[in-house]
Chains A and B, each alone.
Chain A
Amino acid sequence: MNTVLIIDDSDINLTLIKALVLKLGECAPVLFDNPLRALDWCREHVPDLVIVDYMMPDMDGLKFISAFRALHGRNEIPVLMVTANDQKEVRYEALLGGANDFLTKPIDRVEFSARSRNMLSLRTGQKFLADRAAHLDALVSEQTQEIRNREQELIFRMSRAAEFRDPETGAHIQRMAYYSQIIAKGLGLDEKVLKLILEAAPMHDVGKIGIPDYILLKPGKLTFEEFEVMKGHAKLGHELLKGSGSETLRAGAEIAISHHEKYDGSGYPFGLVGTKIPLFGRIVAVADVFDALTSERPYKKSWPLAEACKFLEDGRGKHFDPMCVESFLAGWDDVLEIRQRFQDEEVPMI
């Protein structure tokens, strides 16, 4: 049903045009004999066609069209202006001022029907395109989300693959990722960054793929040379992930190469100091160490939570960025919830 707004200060014209509109079929006429009241109505309603007389008290048809077009979302609505035959200049002005077409008086039904139907077809086309645009928007959003979900799943599985040869678990990756997010939130970082670190943190040890088994899986203490090889996993992870078109992978590259740096410069691979270490690296350092300490492994028991917290506190300014430690401890309730949510499966014996 099309809504046709008719504005004319003459009752006989209003009645005539209304009758002609009803003859078009599928049209609901809305009548006003005052253009100001009609404009008020237009603020709350969107007509499909406007038929407006030129000469009216309070506001003539030209001014009405101008005011109507200025309303948000009304710029494309078809407008027919009704003028007398002798008002060529008025018609030109109307067309230049935003009217789509005009009707001359005395009104001829055939002309009225043809022009009105043309305008209503135009309006139907506009609504179809608007709906289609909205539908396509929704489709694109849905597809984009699907792609992002797949990307996330790939990242997670890749990270798990790296951890597979190491006696870590999938739950470790998820816990340390959420711990990282807790720290980031406590530091006041925005939603976009919180999402990014949650997605990128699992890739911190992806470089272990390049570490030989005899070193990676050695149960005892590594020799100096073996440890030097092991330290290579930071750069390897960076090499694997750097330069990607994906922001998440680039963040993963940064985390991979920096999460073993220490605040006092005694870390690796570059011995960076303080805030020269990328923030993500400083955050993941706290999250990863805490989870490693508080997890059961074939070669070690899990630490009590209080001891692990003390380790972090004692490491402030040395191993760890003090702000990151404070933020982690401030989110303790959330940390406990994460531990509860992501529990280790039974750890296989080497």
Chain B
Amino acid sequence: MTELFVFDRELILDRLGGDEEIVTMMIDLYLQDVERTARSLADAFAQGQADAFMREAHTIKGLLATFSDDAGAAKAFVIEQQAKTGEISGLQPAVAALQRRLYEVADVLRREMGSVR
């Protein structure tokens, strides 16, 4: 069972040099794009485009790592590596799990923004 996502604001701030403005900007961007990101992953998978699917997984890996979601990034990494082989047919459950993770992170970040503002 994947651990729940916990937003460690101090860790992110530390990595970004204490810049609250940048952290807030990145959270806003994530929330603006999360639907599109999840959809792009699903579309690439549905169309059987292994290369595009691999890039989407790679992008999500980086995105989740930005918020220090190591568990989520690890899921994306597994999908990325599998997609590299060209064989993606059995990955539907992994895709669904990753999409759920994206939304879970979004919920946490929304609550975070709500408490900050």
Name A residues whose Cβ lies closer than 8 Å to a Cβ of B: 9-13, 15-16, 19-20, 23, 55-57, 84, 86, 105-110, 113
Shortest beta-carbon distance from A6 to chain B in Å? 15
Asked whether, in the complex, the Cβ of B22 is within 8 Å of the Cβ of A20, the reply is yes
Asked whether, in the complex, the Cβ of A106 is within 8 Å of the Cβ of B68, the reply is yes
**23 intermolecular pairs with C-beta atoms under 8 Å apart:** A9-B59, A12-B29, A12-B63, A13-B62, A15-B25, A15-B26, A16-B22, A16-B26, A19-B22, A19-B25, A23-B17, A23-B19, A56-B55, A57-B52, A84-B61, A84-B62, A84-B65, A86-B77, A105-B65, A106-B66, A106-B68, A108-B15, A109-B17
CB neighbours of A56 from chain B (8 A): 55
Asked if B45 lies at the interface with its beta carbon under 8 angstroms from chain A, I say no
When the two chains form the complex, which single residue of A10, A12, A106, A109 contacts B19, counting CB atoms closer than 8 Å? A109
Asked if B30 lies at the interface with its beta carbon under 8 angstroms from chain A, I say yes
Count: A-B pairs, CB below 8 Å: 58
**Apart from A84-B65, A105-B65: 8 A-B pairs, beta carbons within 8 A:** A11-B29, A15-B29, A16-B22, A84-B58, A84-B62, A105-B62, A105-B66, A107-B66
CB neighbours of A20 from chain B (8 A): 22
Q: How far is the CA of A107 from the CA of B22 in the complex (A)?
A: 12
Asked whether, in the complex, the Cβ of B65 is within 8 Å of the Cβ of A55, the reply is no
Asked whether, in the complex, the Cβ of A10 is within 8 Å of the Cβ of B26, the reply is no
CB neighbours of B59 from chain A (8 A): 9-10, 55
Q: How far is the CA of A86 from the CA of B17 in the complex (A)?
A: 23
Asked if B33 lies at the interface with its beta carbon under 8 angstroms from chain A, I say yes
CB neighbours of B29 from chain A (8 A): 11-12, 15
CB neighbours of A10 from chain B (8 A): 59, 62-63
Asked whether, in the complex, the Cβ of A55 is within 8 Å of the Cβ of B58, the reply is yes
Chain A residue nearest to B77 in the complex (CB): A86
Q: How far is the CA of A75 from the CA of B85 in the complex (A)?
A: 34
Contact indicator per residue, chain B 30-66, by CB within 8 Å of chain A (1) or not (0) = 1001000000000000000000100100110111011
Question: Chain B interface mostly helix, strand, loop or mixed?
Answer: helix
Shortest beta-carbon distance from B38 to chain A in Å? 14
Asked if B16 lies at the interface with its beta carbon under 8 angstroms from chain A, I say yes
Q: How far is the CA of A200 from the CA of B95 in the complex (A)?
A: 87
CB neighbours of B21 from chain A (8 A): 19
Q: How far is the CA of A23 from the CA of B25 in the complex (A)?
A: 14
Chain A residue nearest to B29 in the complex (CB): A12
CB neighbours of B22 from chain A (8 A): 16, 19-20, 109
Shortest beta-carbon distance from B29 to chain A in Å? 5
Q: How far is the CA of A55 from the CA of B52 in the complex (A)?
A: 10
- A57/B65 contact (C-beta < 8 A), A11-B29, A12-B33, A19-B22 known: no
Q: How far is the CA of A152 from the CA of B26 in the complex (A)?
A: 71
9 A-B pairs closest in CB distance: A109-B17, A106-B65, A12-B29, A106-B66, A109-B16, A105-B62, A55-B58, A108-B15, A19-B22
Chain A residue nearest to B27 in the complex (CB): A12
Chain A residue nearest to B12 in the complex (CB): A106
Chain B residue nearest to A87 in the complex (CB): B58
Q: How far is the CA of A44 from the CA of B58 in the complex (A)?
A: 31
Q: How far is the CA of A64 from the CA of B15 in the complex (A)?
A: 28
Q: How far is the CA of A107 from the CA of B15 in the complex (A)?
A: 8
Shortest beta-carbon distance from B75 to chain A in Å? 14
Asked whether, in the complex, the Cβ of A57 is within 8 Å of the Cβ of B55, the reply is yes
Chain B residue nearest to A83 in the complex (CB): B62
CB neighbours of B55 from chain A (8 A): 9, 55-57
CB neighbours of B52 from chain A (8 A): 57
CB neighbours of A110 from chain B (8 A): 17
CB neighbours of A107 from chain B (8 A): 15, 66
Q: How far is the CA of A86 from the CA of B21 in the complex (A)?
A: 29
- A16/B66 contact (C-beta < 8 A), A109-B15, A109-B17, A110-B17 known: yes
Q: How far is the CA of A123 from the CA of B26 in the complex (A)?
A: 30
CB neighbours of B16 from chain A (8 A): 108-109
Q: How far is the CA of A110 from the CA of B22 in the complex (A)?
A: 14
